[in-house]
Structure 1
Amino acid sequence: MITLDADSRLAVGHLIVRQENEDEYVVGDPATGTFVVVPELGARLVELFAAGRTVAEAAMALEQETGEPIDALDFAEVLVEAGIINDQAEAARAKVWSVSRIPAWVVRPLFGKVAWTFYAGCLLTTLWMFVAEPSLRPTYEDTFVFPDIAASLLLTNVVVVLLTILHEIWHAFAGAAVGVPSQLRLERRGVFPVLETDLSGLWALPPAKRYGPFLAGMGIDSVILFAAVAPRYAWSHGWIELPPGLIRILAMVVLSQVAKLAFQTLAYLRTDMYLVMATATGCNNLHQVTRLSLKRLVRNLRPDEAVILRDANPRDLRVARWYRLLYLAGLIWMVFFALQFVLPSAKVALGWSLGILFGAPIASFYWWEGLLLISFTLLDVTLPLFVVVRNRIRARRAVA
């Protein structure tokens, strides 16, 4: 940790200072994705630090400009505590995913007007096919591609993982197109384990330039969904012939992509659409403010939570009044999805695997298949718990 005093000179040449709203500025390192929101005086202090002024000199200069005493040392310590200025800054800026290093001109055509028209066209055409041919809509049975349940779930898990990686790569491509580095990490959203592309550097850009990277994953998901539905639509009308096995695999892909796109609309889980909404409304901490405002309705807040809500940006408080409805709607949708898809699939899978384990000879092929299926189920349950424990350990280490 850097030790500061009145004679300290801060290395802030790597920081950006950008006005976010009328009375707020974003200060941070776009390479590491670490940002803080400061008032106009804070932004001016960073400019003075960048000009080579010591902490004391910057405070004196700003006091002469405003006529009021300024605690520049306290502000500098805030930047250090936030991780914007520290001894590991250079190493942290080097830790970016290789996809981020792709030149912007290579991937920029994937996110131009023509590309976004194509993405939107794929999604709208798919929705039309679902309306015209209801049999194409996904059901939980589409998970089971083969009569062998273990083989079906193995294939489904592999496909879901590959398509999820593609979704995140598209986020990274979109970030690279606007010059923002990214990192891929394992996180959770509610009860769901997720891969996440960290594009925190987008907050260094004007709001209008953030929407493309935020929506990029849904764009490629719409293309994959169309590519899986269109052949089945053509087959159902007798225009083409498809093997039965391929039809079932395409149905499984449709289920995966519909679930993924629906998941991204769950703004209360801080998904892609949440980022779009937060940007459009100009909010800084909408998710936490909304959660705490709802929690306050049913139980008392902890002292630290009460302070967060008390000091929240007025804009966040205003938006949270109607965002609560979306938050609650998301919770209801997650329960619905669990009842309609997750639990029926788990019931079939667990029933089959337990029957095999107790009925098949130990160490036989079918016995191992049943064990593999139970392992998949346990992984789905324990992975979000692992992420929670990991994040808490990291938070404690950061405080220490």
Structure 2
Amino acid sequence: MNGTVRLHRLTMVTEDDGVMVGRPDTGSYAVFPEEGAQALRMFADGVPVGEVADWYERTCGGPLDMDDFLETLADLGFLHTGGPVAEQRRVRWQGLGRALFSWPAWAAYAVLVAAAVTMMVRDPGLRPSYHQVFFTHYLTLIPLTVFALALPCIVVHEAFHALAARRLGLPSTLGIGRRLYYLVAETRLDSLLSVERRKRYLVFWAGMLADVILLCGFTLLSLALDTNAIPSWIHKLCLAVAFTCVLRLIWQFLFYLETDIYYVVSTATGCTDLQNASRFRLRTGFRRTLRLAPPTPDTEWSQRDHAVARWYAPLLFAGYGFSLASLAWAGIPTATHFWTTVADRLGDPHTPFWDLVDAAGFLLLSGLQIGLLVHVTLRDRRNRSRPHSPQGALT
């Protein structure tokens, strides 16, 4: 085996349990032992396959199954089969990302937060409360208006994740995902595995930073618009949108749903795929309880993932239990109340016209949401068999 092996442009980051090797352009990553990573470096330097095999045998005291090794590289998409190796492209919006997280920007954020907190202390009416959502009695108008204004806020949240990564030269993609029975916007940042762990934390926290900035901004805007010259519902609507920012901040603490804080914890504990390792541990325990054959893992997890999964798996189980219990306690009764109200309106021949329009609008919105949830669920099931990065997606 005197030929050479051509590789795509790969990144290598030393982890606790090996070297994370990957292609940021495709999001394909895997952990290699140091000797395997060194073999890849030798391939990249043009060392013939036979010499790499000889080096490995001298260093490790045993032969390397080169055919199996090359097959693994091919499965990961690391092998370059023809044409010139693509040059690394400059990531768009990298300058904007650097500006948003520069020291002048941090100073402006601090002033904004200090001003908003001061006003909330002075005026209790500006403090976040669920009462602020009900700025009108129309069932359809509340979700339509709040969602129309909250949607750009969600985009800003995800954009802060993406721009925090792009300032490092890392690409990202936006999309819609699912966490249990929740639909979420998400930013896929598989390329984060290309940089040291300490550089990932700001990317994880960036979305929550955006929510705090938006919360304070809408609170101060509400205060500015609370004048006799402007209809009162406008400043109340600003507070309603500000409250949705609070809900997004609370959501991030549901770490068992792979929120931003989950990735902070996972990175701090040195894990690469903690969520799936914990799920597998739960499935194994469940089948063992039923005296069934243990499940077969579809991937291999690091020793660190298995070690942390011992204490994280019970938290994951409790978290899922909490969400399902919340659905039974509050979600289903609330939905039942809404649907009963709609049915009563549609079934009553004396229902006013605009109340009928309100009920029809609620049915349309609910149908769209349910349809989107079904679509995302089916899409995720189709994608399970495809290779994926352990980094996941930020919400």
- Bin of the TM-score, shorter chain as denominator length: 0.7 to 0.9
1:205 and 2:195 matched: yes
Distance 1:87 1:164 in 2: 41
Instruction: Calculate the aligned-residue CA RMSD, in Å.
Output: 4.0
Structure having greater relative contact order (Cα 8 Å, sep ≥ 6):
2
1:101 and 2:92 matched: yes
Which segment drifts farther, 205-214 or 247-256?
247-256
Partner of 1:154: 144
1:136 and 2:131 matched: no
Distance 2:319 2:161 in 1: 23
Equivalent of 2:13 in 9, 12, 18? 18
Deviation of 1:213 after TM superposition, in Å, equals 1.3
1:389 and 2:374 matched: no
Distance 1:78 1:303 in 2: 28
1:227 and 2:227 matched: no
Distance 2:42 2:329 in 1: 58
- Report Cα offsets for 1:8-39 as digits up to 9, x if no partner: 64432411122122x40011112222211111
Partner of 1:256: 244
Residue 276 of structure 2: SS of its match in structure 1?
A: helix
Residue 181 of structure 1: SS of its match in structure 2?
A: coil
Residue type of the partner of 2:378? V
Relative to 1, partners in 2 of residues 1:11 and 1:359: Cα closer, same or farther, differing over 3 Å?
farther
Residue 288 of structure 2: SS of its match in structure 1?
A: coil
Relative to 1, partners in 2 of residues 1:232 and 1:333: Cα closer, same or farther, differing over 3 Å?
farther
Relative to 1, partners in 2 of residues 1:14 and 1:51: Cα closer, same or farther, differing over 3 Å?
same
Relative to 1, partners in 2 of residues 1:360 and 1:300: Cα closer, same or farther, differing over 3 Å?
farther
- Report Cα offsets for 1:173-192 as digits up to 9, x if no partner: 11111100111122111211
Native 8 Å contact 1:58 1:72 kept in 2: no
Deviation of 1:296 after TM superposition, in Å, equals 3.7
Which segment drifts farther, 353-362 or 44-53?
353-362
Deviation of 1:92 after TM superposition, in Å, equals 11
Relative to 1, partners in 2 of residues 1:110 and 1:353: Cα closer, same or farther, differing over 3 Å?
same
Partner of 1:353: 342
Distance 1:336 1:234 in 2: 41
Relative to 1, partners in 2 of residues 1:336 and 1:298: Cα closer, same or farther, differing over 3 Å?
closer
The count of aligned residue pairs is: 384
Partner of 2:273: 285
Deviation of 1:171 after TM superposition, in Å, equals 1.3
Distance 1:341 1:92 in 2: 53
Deviation of 1:273 after TM superposition, in Å, equals 1.1
Distance 1:373 1:205 in 2: 46
Native 8 Å contact 1:25 1:38 kept in 2: yes
Native 8 Å contact 1:234 1:240 kept in 2: no
Distance 1:116 1:360 in 2: 59
Residue 101 of structure 1: SS of its match in structure 2?
A: coil
Identity of counterpart residues, as a percentage? Answer: 28
Relative to 1, partners in 2 of residues 1:286 and 1:68: Cα closer, same or farther, differing over 3 Å?
same
Relative to 1, partners in 2 of residues 1:242 and 1:336: Cα closer, same or farther, differing over 3 Å?
farther
Residue type of the partner of 2:24? P
Distance 2:139 2:33 in 1: 58
- Report Cα offsets for 1:114-150 as digits up to 9, x if no partner: 54566577668867848983883332x5444322221
Distance 1:257 1:288 in 2: 29
Residue type of the partner of 1:19? T
Distance 2:154 2:323 in 1: 19
Native 8 Å contact 2:178 2:376 kept in 1: yes
Residue 227 of structure 1: SS of its match in structure 2?
A: helix
The structure with the greater share of residues assigned to helix is 1
1:61 and 2:51 matched: no
Deviation of 1:326 after TM superposition, in Å, equals 4.1
1:73 and 2:51 matched: no
Write the mapping of 1:1-400 to structure 2, written as runs, cut at 5 A. 9-21=4-16, 23-85=17-79, 100-102=91-93, 104-113=94-103, 115-116=105-106, 129=120, 133=124, 136-139=127-130, 142-230=132-220, 243-300=231-288, 305=295, 307=297, 312-324=301-313, 326-328=315-317, 330-331=319-320, 334-335=323-324, 338=327, 342-343=331-332, 346-347=335-336, 349-359=338-348, 367-396=356-385
Distance 2:13 2:107 in 1: 30
Where in structure 1 are there 5+ consecutive unaligned residues?
1-5
Distance 2:229 2:271 in 1: 51
- Report Cα offsets for 1:210-247 as digits up to 9, x if no partner: 11111111111111111233455789xx9999742023
Which segment drifts farther, 159-168 or 276-285?
159-168
Which segment drifts farther, 267-276 or 124-133?
124-133
Residue 219 of structure 1: SS of its match in structure 2?
A: helix
Residue type of the partner of 2:375? F
Distance 2:314 2:112 in 1: 29
- Report Cα offsets for 1:40-63 as digits up to 9, x if no partner: 121012112212245444323322
Distance 2:121 2:279 in 1: 35
Distance 1:106 1:267 in 2: 29
Q: TM-score, normalised by structure 2?
A: 0.81
Deviation of 1:339 after TM superposition, in Å, equals 6.7
Native 8 Å contact 1:56 1:72 kept in 2: no
Partner of 1:3: none
- Report Cα offsets for 1:328-368 as digits up to 9, x if no partner: 55335535764787556534543443333334699x66545
